[in-house]
Structure 1
Amino acid sequence: MRITPIAIALILAAVTPDVDASVQSSTNMTVNAEQSKVAVRPEDLPEPVKSTLSGSYAEWKVTSAYLVTRDDNSQYYEVNIKRAEETSTLNLDKYGKKID
């Protein structure tokens, strides 16, 4: 029995989508494992974070806040703020300094 190039192409076409799907799924799982988020009440934020918010962002209202822990165990606060129709997200360390 001789396998023709057309047969090889059909076999590869049938196998390729499954390989791509499994690669994509494992990538998504890795991203989810790299950090975790825990909700924090705005009043429970550390004083330096509250100080930054009440200073530079006094016109803004905190809508939600999270303590984010990265896979290297470093932490920062993700703070969602709103002013009129404008919204923004700040990432602040425990000292109230902006981080990327």
Structure 2
Amino acid sequence: MRLNPIAIALLLATAPNVDASVQSSTQVAVIAEQSKVAVRPEDLPEPVKSTLAGSYSEWKVTSAYLVTRDDNSQYYEINIKRTEETSTINLDKYGKKID
């Protein structure tokens, strides 16, 4: 979608705080990314490794992250691969799948 330059000028003239709201959105995205820490697959908790060895035994872990939500709850985001197929699963510290 292409906006008319005159419409853009009018929008900017009537909404001088547009730039400030864009900066706030960017800042929130950066904070969200900081709550994701890389974890080596061998350092995952034993219940998580057990789930991977059972239900996902045909898959190889390509990367894993410990994600902390705003409410301080945590889960493991695990990227897995089988032949050319890739997937991401989220498991809590007990190895239970979560959304």
| TM-score, normalised by the number of residues in structure 2 | 0.79
User: 2:18 aligned with 1:20, yes or no?
Assistant: yes
Write the deviation string for residues 46-65 of structure 1: whole angstroms up to 9, x where unpaired. Answer: 00000000000000000000
What is the one-letter code of the residue matched to 1:38? V
- Name the CA shift for 1:84/1:12 in 2 (closer, same or farther; >3 Å): same
**Count of equivalent residues:** 91
Structure 2 gaps of 5+ residues are 1-6
Look up the match of 1:5: none
Q: Percent identity?
A: 70
| TM-score, normalised by the number of residues in structure 1 | 0.78
Look up the match of 1:74: 73
- Name the CA shift for 1:48/1:98 in 2 (closer, same or farther; >3 Å): same
Structure 1 gaps of 5+ residues are 1-8
CA RMSD of aligned residues (A): 2.2
- Name the CA shift for 1:32/1:14 in 2 (closer, same or farther; >3 Å): closer
What is the one-letter code of the residue matched to 1:55? G
